[in-house]
Chains A and B, each alone.
Chain A
Amino acid sequence: MLAYLLRRLIGLVAVLLAMAFLIFALQGIIPADPARAIAGVAAPVEVLEAVRDKLGLSDPVPVQYGRFLGRVVQGDLGTSIRTRQPVLADIQKYLPASLELGLAALLIGTALAGLFALVHRRFPGSAVVRLTLITAGSTPIFLTALLLVYFVWFRLGWLPGAGRLSHRGFSGPTGLNLIDGLLAVRPDIALDALQHLLLPALAVALPIAVAVGRSLGASLHEVMRRPYIRTMRGKGLSEGEALWRHGLRNAASAPLAMLGLQIGLMFGNLMVVERIFAWPGLGLYMVQSFASADLPAILGVSLAFGSIYIVANIGIEMAQSLADPRIGLSRSRAGAAD
């Protein structure tokens, strides 16, 4: 177990290094110029060169990369060109909002996936529900988000369509408003945070629900026909007990892997949804950094997202091994199976 975590940690560092290098390499290809963005469109060439030198942008890419790595090791992600704040401070400021949205989306997505998996099994009219869900899941995320804003907020006025809170100036220890509201025993704040959270979380959750739900449904459908499920029915277990105690465990592996993939895709979706709902999180920060070719910020957020993704997938591998103990966490043993 410890050896497994250590190995994954080394993997994490390797992936982050590769990621940082890729983004650095991309800088040479994309036409955007941060020096131009700072100096202004009309600035003369000399001023532009001066800004370039000051930012270290005229050095060769490997030198810039080495300099960046050296700073990162010391916990310094550089200064954002756009906000002129340390990138680390920016990330600390915007991460809780994204974390709140992402976790809520995962929670809603997994719950809906479970529902969807049940629909996958059988009941009269389940085909209609299935079709609706597939349509919802295959609609591009910006369209889903816009439709939700348009109908639920603009036309119906049921839920707010922008921002995280109506109350200004509230802040708590975790930065997750819903939890902070509950911790501070402010049900009004918690409710307000929840209302703001629901729509964007639903938009992010839908593709997760459809993908994971289909995988879980198909997996369960197959598992519930296995002979050992018949054994359990023969023992007098009800259909629900057989599904809950024996079916789910055996069916869990593929949908968990799908969930891991979806977490990766979710970061992209967070950018779109945070932009549409004016949700002040890392996704929105990232979109704004893109617009101004703010390389330190882009790099910092990428590293943050990358780390979260890898940690989440370590968690998923552990969950898979928990559901099916035959999936060992140490890879060396799997080779010498008897």
Chain B
Amino acid sequence: MARRGGRRDQRLTMAAAPVLAVRDLSVALSRNGRSSRVLEAVSFAVAPHEIVALVGASGSGKSTLGLAIQGLLPRDARPEISGSICVAEAELVGAAEPALRQIRRSLVRVVPQDPLSGLDPTMTIGRQMAGKAREREAIAWLRRTGIADPERVARSYPHRLSGGQRQRVLIAMAMLARPRLLIADEPTTALDVLTQAQVLETLRGLTRAEGSALLFITHDLAVATSLADRVVVLEAGQVVEIGPVGAMLAAPQAAATRRLLAARYDLGSDRNRPLPAEGASVAWPAARRDASKVLELVGVSKTLGRRQVVHQVDLSIEAGESVAVVGESGAGKSTLLRIAAGLTKPDAGTVTRLGETRPQIVFQDPVAALTPWLSVGEQVADRLRGLGLNTAERRRRLGEAFAMVGLPESLMAALPGELSVGQCQRAVLARAIVVPPRLLLCDEPASAIDMPLAAAMLNLIGALRRRLGMALLFVTHDIAAARLIGDRIAVMQDGAVIEAGEAEALIARPATAHTRALVAAIPRFETAR
């Protein structure tokens, strides 16, 4: 455990030396007995006080890199590491476990991805942050992360706090050690847009004030560029581009960077055509519309426990129309969607649906929405039962559905566990449209997946609803996604629709402060495209 003598004077030499120096790092992890290269000859450095964003699509190896820098690669995966990782001149590769722990304790700290499961549910915040001895210090740090009542939070158990509060707790817990390097692994993916912006600001402010370097791992180039000094782009385990933010945005060198940039959507994206994620695109065809109402909600209210989650909502959707409902978490949008689907009975108000096919729902978590022990093909074909189709006909319809969502037919026999998250989401869509409903309901289908996948999903849903003539109710916390997918947008706050209108008009001239805040929270590129 004792530090070697040579490290004592490291603070003297630190001014020039990088906080983190990764040189020629290769990592192989084995899964189900097969070993595969996850990182290949990765080299980059982070200077003191610097904010570096590590950007890549899912599967690019960025989280593995984050774990390697903590010396926490999963032991079950029998990691084979070569190369060098130096944190404040301490070598991690090949270091003994006590030395690694010492480094984690005082030099490198992490803000994890999912704040909801990142805290011990059986222990108060104060105790798991610092133990009894340093409770006052913990409270001071909680206050610095922007928590209004740190004393109460320190006495609380995690389940009493919101996602944003928990992420602030995790930031405070990490900063408590005054680390030389803070690694933030997608710390805002699980948070809604408003909270995300605040948490990012907190991260930047605190690390700047404390002089900690920040390595920010993300799939979102806009977040990366709004926060970082330099960007490292990772693809398939290799660094494909590295450089200052401005230069990279002006002239992206690597194809992977250009793809990430293309998949990026914001309030300036062209909503008259698909996002250019998969190459150039032609304009959307006009949707088939008519004035018949596929869904009409009048004066709908719902109380859960003591809280009124939905309050006097009127909403109607015409055939072929797409309506996006936007709001923070807890605004009541998911409950509204469940009421529209007929899964939840409203306490007051009327719900009228058109057509005999029930509305179909695409939920946020595609993996959880599929039965793990049934093949994907079986689950999609389930909805074809009872239509009086023969085997050949069923087989044909199933093939069509798979083709429409862009899944290869070879995956019909696969179990959900063998599919990627993006493929699972496509399978869920295939199940929803194999018998096209008059109304498709989507509950944040693009928020738990990374940016390129989300763009592809928005394109796919936009294409399917136009092709099959479905009306769409799309629930999201991201007003940029709402603008792309919705003809109209309804903004919800505290259970009520506070504003609704044509998408472009509503965003150009928000009538309420809340909508203005939602618009302002969308990260934008700092340099012009």
Which A positions have Cβ atoms within 8 angstroms of B? 226-228, 230-238, 246, 249-250, 323-326, 336-338
- Contact between A232 and B157, CB atoms less than 8 A apart: no
> What's the nearest-Cβ distance from chain A to residue B103, in Å?
8
List 18 contacting pairs A-B, 8 Å CB cutoff, sorted by A: A227-B112, A227-B113, A227-B117, A230-B72, A230-B112, A231-B112, A231-B118, A231-B119, A231-B173, A232-B120, A234-B109, A235-B109, A238-B98, A246-B128, A323-B122, A326-B122, A326-B157, A338-B306
Q: B120-147 interface mask toward A, CB cutoff 8 Å, 1 = contact, 0 = none? A: 1111000010000000000000000000
- Contact between A234 and B121, CB atoms less than 8 A apart: no
A323 to B123 alpha-carbon distance, docked (Å): 9
Residues of B within 8 A of A324 (CB): 121-122
- Contact between B117 and A236, CB atoms less than 8 A apart: no
Residues of B within 8 A of A226 (CB): 117
Pick the 4 closest A-B CB pairs, nearest first: A236-B105, A236-B104, A227-B117, A234-B110
- Contact between A234 and B72, CB atoms less than 8 A apart: yes
Q: Does B159 contact A (CB under 8 A)?
A: yes
Query: Given the known A-B contacts A226-B117, A231-B112, A234-B70, are A249 and B123 also in contact in the complex, defined by CB atoms under 8 Å?
Result: yes
- Contact between A246 and B120, CB atoms less than 8 A apart: yes
Which bracket fits the contact residues of B? 20 to 34
> What's the nearest-Cβ distance from chain B to residue A91, in Å?
40
Residues of A within 8 A of B70 (CB): 234
> What's the nearest-Cβ distance from chain A to residue B114, in Å?
6
Chain B's closest residue to A335 (CB) is: B305
> What's the nearest-Cβ distance from chain B to residue A227, in Å?
4
Residues of B within 8 A of A227 (CB): 112-114, 117-118
Chain B's closest residue to A238 (CB) is: B101
Query: Beyond the given A323-B122, A338-B307, could you list 9 further A-B residue pairs with CB under 8 A, ordered by the A residue number?
Result: A227-B112, A231-B112, A236-B105, A246-B120, A249-B120, A325-B122, A326-B121, A326-B122, A338-B305
Q: Does B312 contact A (CB under 8 A)?
A: no
Q: Does B202 contact A (CB under 8 A)?
A: no
Which B positions have Cβ atoms within 8 angstroms of A? 70, 72, 97-98, 101-106, 109-110, 112-114, 117-123, 128, 157, 159, 170, 173, 177, 305-307
A238 to B106 alpha-carbon distance, docked (Å): 14
- Contact between A236 and B106, CB atoms less than 8 A apart: yes
> What's the nearest-Cβ distance from chain A to residue B332, in Å?
14
A316 to B119 alpha-carbon distance, docked (Å): 25
Residues of B within 8 A of A237 (CB): 101
- Contact between A336 and B306, CB atoms less than 8 A apart: yes
A336 to B307 alpha-carbon distance, docked (Å): 11
Residues of A within 8 A of B101 (CB): 236-238
- Contact between B112 and A233, CB atoms less than 8 A apart: no
Residues of A within 8 A of B117 (CB): 226-228
Residues of B within 8 A of A337 (CB): 305
A246 to B441 alpha-carbon distance, docked (Å): 40
A246 to B70 alpha-carbon distance, docked (Å): 20
Chain B's closest residue to A234 (CB) is: B110
Residues of B within 8 A of A238 (CB): 97-98, 101
Residue in contact with A235 in the complex, picked from B104, B123, B307, CB distance below 8 Å: B104
Residues of B within 8 A of A338 (CB): 305-307
A237 to B159 alpha-carbon distance, docked (Å): 23
Residues of B within 8 A of A230 (CB): 72, 112, 118
Query: Which among A235, A237, A246, A336 has the highest number of chain B CB atoms within 10 Å?
Result: A235
Chain B's closest residue to A251 (CB) is: B122
A233 to B70 alpha-carbon distance, docked (Å): 9
Residues of A within 8 A of B113 (CB): 227
A324 to B98 alpha-carbon distance, docked (Å): 30
A176 to B113 alpha-carbon distance, docked (Å): 55
- Contact between B306 and A228, CB atoms less than 8 A apart: no
Residues of B within 8 A of A234 (CB): 70, 72, 104, 109-110, 112
A332 to B72 alpha-carbon distance, docked (Å): 43
Residues of A within 8 A of B110 (CB): 231, 234
A248 to B98 alpha-carbon distance, docked (Å): 22
- Contact between A250 and B120, CB atoms less than 8 A apart: yes
> What's the nearest-Cβ distance from chain B to residue A50, in Å?
65
A249 to B122 alpha-carbon distance, docked (Å): 7
> What's the nearest-Cβ distance from chain A to residue B44, in Å?
21
- Contact between A228 and B72, CB atoms less than 8 A apart: no
A101 to B106 alpha-carbon distance, docked (Å): 50
A61 to B307 alpha-carbon distance, docked (Å): 55
> What's the nearest-Cβ distance from chain B to residue A235, in Å?
7
> What's the nearest-Cβ distance from chain A to residue B180, in Å?
14
Residues of B within 8 A of A323 (CB): 122
Chain A's closest residue to B117 (CB) is: A227
Residues of A within 8 A of B159 (CB): 326
Chain A's closest residue to B104 (CB) is: A236
Chain B's closest residue to A237 (CB) is: B101
- Contact between A336 and B112, CB atoms less than 8 A apart: no
Residues of B within 8 A of A326 (CB): 121-122, 157, 159
A325 to B128 alpha-carbon distance, docked (Å): 14
Residues of A within 8 A of B120 (CB): 228, 231-232, 246, 249-250
Residues of A within 8 A of B177 (CB): 235
A235 to B70 alpha-carbon distance, docked (Å): 10
- Contact between A233 and B72, CB atoms less than 8 A apart: yes
> What's the nearest-Cβ distance from chain B to residue A269, in Å?
32
A226 to B105 alpha-carbon distance, docked (Å): 20
- Contact between A250 and B72, CB atoms less than 8 A apart: no
> What's the nearest-Cβ distance from chain B to residue A135, in Å?
28
A130 to B105 alpha-carbon distance, docked (Å): 35
A235 to B173 alpha-carbon distance, docked (Å): 9
Residues of B within 8 A of A235 (CB): 104-105, 109, 173, 177
Residues of A within 8 A of B109 (CB): 234-235
> What's the nearest-Cβ distance from chain A to residue B429, in Å?
28
- Contact between A228 and B102, CB atoms less than 8 A apart: no
- Contact between A236 and B114, CB atoms less than 8 A apart: no
> What's the nearest-Cβ distance from chain A to residue B64, in Å?
13
A233 to B72 alpha-carbon distance, docked (Å): 8
Chain A's closest residue to B108 (CB) is: A234
Residues of A within 8 A of B307 (CB): 338
Query: Which among B106, B119, B122 has the highest number of chain A CB atoms within 10 Å?
Result: B122
- Contact between B105 and A250, CB atoms less than 8 A apart: no
A250 to B122 alpha-carbon distance, docked (Å): 7
- Contact between A250 and B121, CB atoms less than 8 A apart: yes
> What's the nearest-Cβ distance from chain A to residue B134, in Å?
13
Chain A's closest residue to B121 (CB) is: A326
> What's the nearest-Cβ distance from chain B to residue A300, in Å?
41
- Contact between B119 and A336, CB atoms less than 8 A apart: no
> What's the nearest-Cβ distance from chain A to residue B176, in Å?
9
A231 to B110 alpha-carbon distance, docked (Å): 8
Residues of B within 8 A of A233 (CB): 72, 104
Residues of A within 8 A of B173 (CB): 231, 235
> What's the nearest-Cβ distance from chain A to residue B76, in Å?
9
Chain B's closest residue to A236 (CB) is: B105
A336 to B303 alpha-carbon distance, docked (Å): 13
Residues of A within 8 A of B112 (CB): 227, 230-231, 234
A227 to B105 alpha-carbon distance, docked (Å): 18
A98 to B199 alpha-carbon distance, docked (Å): 60
Chain A's closest residue to B130 (CB) is: A235
A62 to B118 alpha-carbon distance, docked (Å): 60
Chain A's closest residue to B116 (CB) is: A227
Residues of A within 8 A of B97 (CB): 238
> What's the nearest-Cβ distance from chain B to residue A2, in Å?
23
Chain B's closest residue to A246 (CB) is: B120
Residues of B within 8 A of A325 (CB): 122, 157
Residues of A within 8 A of B305 (CB): 336-338
A226 to B128 alpha-carbon distance, docked (Å): 15
> What's the nearest-Cβ distance from chain B to residue A319, in Å?
13
